[in-house]
Amino acid sequence: MSEQLDAQLQRRQLSPDSVTRRLADYEARLGGLQADYSFLRSEFDRLAPQLSALEYRFERLRDRVGDDVADDGAALRQAQLEHERARIRLELASHYEERLRRLEGGAHA
Angle formed by the axes of helices 16-68 and 72-108, to 10°?
140
Total-model pTM: 0.39
Residue 24: other Cβ atoms inside 10 A: 10
- Residue-wise pLDDT for 56-87, tens only, equals 888 888 777 766 556 777 778 888 888 898 88
13: left (phi over 0), alpha (psi -120 to 50) or beta: left
- Residue-wise pLDDT for 2-55, tens only, equals 788 777 767 776 677 877 888 888 888 888 888 888 888 888 888 888 888 888
Instruction: Decide: 61 and 79 in contact? Cβ < 8 Å.
Output: yes
Residues contacting 86, CB < 8 A, separation 6+: 54, 57
Residue 86: other Cβ atoms inside 10 A: 16
What burial class does residue 56 get, using C-beta atoms within 10 Å of its C-beta: 0-12 exposed, 13-18 middle, 19+ buried?
A: exposed
What is each CA distance from 39 to 14, 19, 96, 99, in whole angstroms?
36, 30, 18, 18
